[in-house]
């Protein structure tokens, strides 16, 4: 099956099919290739693309069962590539501080939704739609107020309005065009994983008085023991300029935590750059994960499930605070999108019976409205895990914030009540969470 020049979708190398198969399989190939292109361009989310690809594979196998092994092999390769793209988007966009993008027309809804971006379009959903003068004025104000540096437009669509707005706002245009150079994804992933293993081998356990110990005591006052899965490291800090060239900006004290895939493979490392005094370092991206890990599902495993219970959340400090508050191990998953994709490790399926999701109670402006990204991700994950047979409880703080915020609120209340020596707050008598759903 082919779609365009030299673009193979999912058929075996040598294939001779009966005539009744040819029409269907050509259509299936088109669907598979379109799924990959749409994920790369941000026009379709990875989960939908994989679901459609799997459906196409199954129907093709029904029509040509003799080549089932080849179909499944090539589908697996496609799945790996799509998951790699998703992970790459997650890692790189997580490092950007400005989440606002201005486009010629509203073509990247899935990209904005899944990776926490805010898309402002000049011409609405259709490339041919014409904006009102008032719309252009409002977008110009937004661009100037939010430090937007580029307007993205497509090479096949007139750039006249984008050019006009760019001139008005004093910014540049960025051409959105197909990339003609195919990156060696497998090689870049392998290089990233080797670097991750090397960095961890050079780290050590946290010691009282070092930068990580000071940082965590700033963020989580009263913490008496740092989990063994959190390490101190002396880490290099690199930045990439607009041309793609990397520059070494210095060496910093750092907190590092390993991330593992559902099959237990080391695939990620979270690094927080610090000063010797335990404050966040003055760098563009204080917190980084490794790019191109090749997995859309991973977790920073802090502790092991206890009595069949495992907690999940987004941030590392949130995980430590939630664990102190509720006495259960909590694994941070870095972001809402990675949390939503969490899979219970294969070797722990029988050991884990109940899962508590400590959802961030956040607010994001999306399409002119307000979106609780953390809660939506938690609900999607809970729905899937329940179908897999797990009992799931979602917990969220009563006000906007996360469980680290709540921990500090409760501890401050104890200090105010003349108990400055208090360690972790006692919340056994204080039902501060809103329990959206009971275990079941």
Give the tens place of pLDDT for each residue, 73-110. Answer: 888 888 888 888 888 888 888 887 777 777 766 667 77
Instruction: Check residue 317 and give its pLDDT.
Output: 95
User: Hey, which of 7-16, 178-187, 398-407, 427-436 has the most confident mean pLDDT?
Assistant: 398-407
How many domains in the chain?
4
Residue 29 has pLDDT above 60, yes or no: no
Residues 160 and 117 in one domain: yes
Residue 366 falls inside a structural domain: yes
Say yes or no to pLDDT of 9 above 50.
no
CATH number for 423:
3.40.1360.10
Residue 400 lies in domain: 299-440
Query: Among positive and negative, which fits the CA dihedral 51, 295, 364, 359?
Result: positive
Across 44-71, average pLDDT: 80
Residues 306 and 385 occupy one common structural domain: yes
250 three-state secondary structure:
strand
Ramachandran quadrant class, 171 (left: phi over 0; alpha: psi -120 to 50; beta: rest): beta
Mean pLDDT rounded to a whole number for the chain? 75
Closest CA to 320 of 309, 310, 331: 331
pLDDT attached to residue 11: 39
In a domain, 1, yes or no: no
Above 70 in pLDDT, residue 19?
no
Among 176, 193, 222, give the residue marking a domain's end.
Answer: 176
Worst-scoring range by mean pLDDT, 146-160, 175-189, 409-423? 175-189
Range with lowest mean pLDDT among 24-28, 30-34, 83-87: 24-28
Chain centre distance of CA 117? 12
245 with 304, same domain? no
Please state the length of the chain. Answer: 440
Q: What percent of the chain has pLDDT over 90?
A: 32
Greater pLDDT, 167 or 242: 242
CATH number at residue 164: 3.40.50.1980
Q: Select the more confidently predicted residue: 282 or 421.
A: 282
| Domain presence at residue 106 | yes
pLDDT score at 44: 54
Whether residues 189 and 317 share a domain: the answer is: no
User: Does 423 or 111 have the greater pLDDT score?
Assistant: 111
User: Does one domain contain both 214 and 151?
Assistant: no
Distances in whole angstroms, Cα of residue 433 to Cα of each of 159, 326, 388: 50, 11, 26
Q: Summarize pLDDT for 312-366 with one digit per residue, the tens.
A: 999 999 999 999 999 999 999 988 888 998 999 988 999 999 999 999 998 766 5
My answer on whether 368 and 431 are in the same domain is yes
Span 143-154, average pLDDT: 70
Q: Is the pLDDT of residue 5 over 70?
A: no
> How many percent of the chain have pLDDT more than 70?
67
Q: Does one domain contain both 438 and 308?
A: yes
The last residue of a domain, from among 93, 124, 158: 93
Please give the Cα distance from 93 to 96 (Å, whole number). 5
- pLDDT at residue number 302: 95
Q: 256 near 288, Cβ under 8 Å?
A: no
3-state secondary structure of 279: coil
What residues contact 198, with CB distance under 8 A and at least 6 apart? none
pLDDT at 113: 79
- The pLDDT of residue 311 is 97
Please tell me the predicted confidence (pLDDT) of residue 169: 53
Do 435 and 414 lie in one domain? The reply is yes
């Amino acid at each position: 099956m082919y779609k365009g020049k030299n673009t193979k979708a999912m058929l075996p190398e040598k294939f001779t099919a009966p005539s009744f198969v040819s029409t269907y399989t050509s259509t299936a190939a088109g669907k598979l290739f379109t799924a990959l292109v749409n994920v790369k361009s941000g026009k379709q989310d990875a989960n939908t693309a994989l679901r459609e690809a799997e459906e196409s594979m199954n129907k093709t196998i029904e029509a040509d069962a003799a080549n089932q092994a080849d179909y499944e092999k090539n589908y697996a390769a496609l799945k790996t590539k799509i998951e790699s793209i998703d992970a790459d988007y997650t890692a790189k966009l997580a490092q950007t501080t400005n989440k606002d993008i201005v486009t010629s027309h509203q073509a990247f809804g899935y990209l904005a939704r899944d990776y926490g971006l805010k898309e402002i379009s000049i011409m609405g959903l259709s490339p041919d739609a014409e904006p009102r003068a008032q719309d252009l004025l409002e977008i110009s104000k937004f661009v100037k107020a939010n430090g937007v540096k580029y307007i993205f437009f497509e090479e096949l669509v007139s750039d006249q309005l984008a050019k006009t707005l760019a001139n008005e706002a004093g910014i540049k245009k960025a051409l959105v065009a197909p990339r003609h150079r195919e990156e060696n994804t497998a090689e870049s992933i392998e290089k990233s994983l080797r670097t991750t293993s090397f960095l961890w081998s050079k780290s050590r356990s946290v010691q009282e008085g070092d930068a990580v110990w000071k940082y965590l005591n700033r963020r989580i006052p009263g913490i008496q023991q740092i989990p063994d899965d959190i390490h101190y490291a002396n880490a290099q800090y690199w930045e990439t300029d607009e041309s793609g060239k990397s520059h070494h900006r210095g060496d910093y004290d750092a907190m590092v935590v390993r991330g593992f895939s559902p099959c237990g493979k080391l695939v990620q490392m979270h690094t927080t750059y610090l000063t010797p005094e335990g404050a966040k370092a003055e760098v563009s991206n204080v917190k980084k994960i490794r790019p191109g890990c090749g997995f859309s599902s991973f977790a920073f495993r802090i502790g092991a499930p206890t009595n069949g219970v495992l907690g999940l959340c987004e941030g590392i400090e949130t995980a430590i605070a939630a664990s102190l508050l509720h006495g259960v191990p909590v694994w941070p998953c870095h972001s809402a999108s990675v949390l939503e994709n969490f899979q219970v490790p294969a070797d722990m399926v029988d050991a884990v019976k109940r899962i508590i999701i400590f959802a961030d109670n956040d607010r994001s402006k999306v399409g002119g409205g307000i979106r609780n990204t953390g809660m939506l991700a938690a609900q999607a994950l809970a729905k899937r895990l329940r179908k897999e047979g797990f009992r799931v409880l979602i917990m969220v703080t009563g006000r906007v914030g996360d469980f680290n915020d709540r921990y500090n609120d409760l501890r401050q209340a104890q200090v105010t009540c003349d108990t400055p020596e208090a360690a972790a707050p006692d919340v056994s008598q204080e039902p501060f969470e809103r329990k959206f759903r009971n275990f079941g």
